[in-house]
Amino acid sequence: MRLDGKVALISGGASGIGRATALLFARAGASVAIADRDLAGAQNVAASVVEEGGRAIAMRCDVTAAADCQRAVERTVFDLGRLDILVNCAGIIRRATILDTSEAEWDQVMAVNAKGTFLLSKEAIPMMGGAGGVIVNVASGWGLVGGPKAAAYCASKGAVVQLTKAMALDHGQQRIRVNCICPGDTDTAMLRAEAQQLGEPTESFLAEAASRPLGRVGTPEEIAQAALYLASDASSFVTGVALVVDGGGLAG
């Protein structure tokens, strides 16, 4: 699974799954553009890529802002010469029922997770043009089944799953493949933030999250491997798929 000569734009690339994906793609031969609201974090990831001999740029991007998404895509093409792969990884979570979710919180979760995927994809697809390309959206297992006290998150990730399928239908003739990954609980700062939101001790929360057939939570690097598969020619006949990577959490 190689990406030699390819250029990838990764949102949410400063930390967690996005960071792991940027580093893995660079090691697989891609030039990477790392976009995140955390510019310093994005710059640190880009510096790590360069230190390993890769090519990377970093930029601040709020995926809820159309102008930011346009600039991110344009700068990627200007600085790196083209755009072959988009990974929509930026995401947030609010652990609450609808009764405990404010309108502002609902809007924020939907804006980052669903609207951000829409906005960046809308800018990226025309740049991919006749050469084709790949879009990998990061959804969630809770985009396929419901989860407790996560109403806005589940709704937003369900939207990402269906948007993935719709884009796969619309843009297949342009040789653009669109797939999504549905991770289970993954060892990131966001997972630990869930414990805080729920008012639970972190260790007991993580222990409960590990209750799945493989007996542990995932790592960002494992989710990045799935993204690499979907971005590479190894999946050349795969589009419109929601790939579950969750240690068996949804198996039973």
- Going by the DSSP 8-state scheme, the letter that residue 207 receives in this structure is H
End-to-end Cα distance, the chain: 30
Q: Residue 137 — φ and ψ, nearest 5°?
A: -100, 140
Instruction: Catalytic residue, from 25, 118, 142, 153: name it.
Output: 153
Identify the CA nearest to 218 among candidates 182, 178, 245: 245
Identify the CA nearest to 76 among candidates 6, 3, 9: 9
- Going by the DSSP 8-state scheme, the letter that residue 229 receives in this structure is H
Q: What is the identity of the amino acid at 196? A: Q
CA distance 219 to 222: 5
Q: Which residue's entry shows tokens 């792991």?
A: 20
Beta strands per DSSP E along the chain:
7-11, 31-36, 56-60, 85-88, 133-138, 176-183, 242-245
153 is catalytic: yes
**Which residues are the active-site residues?**
153
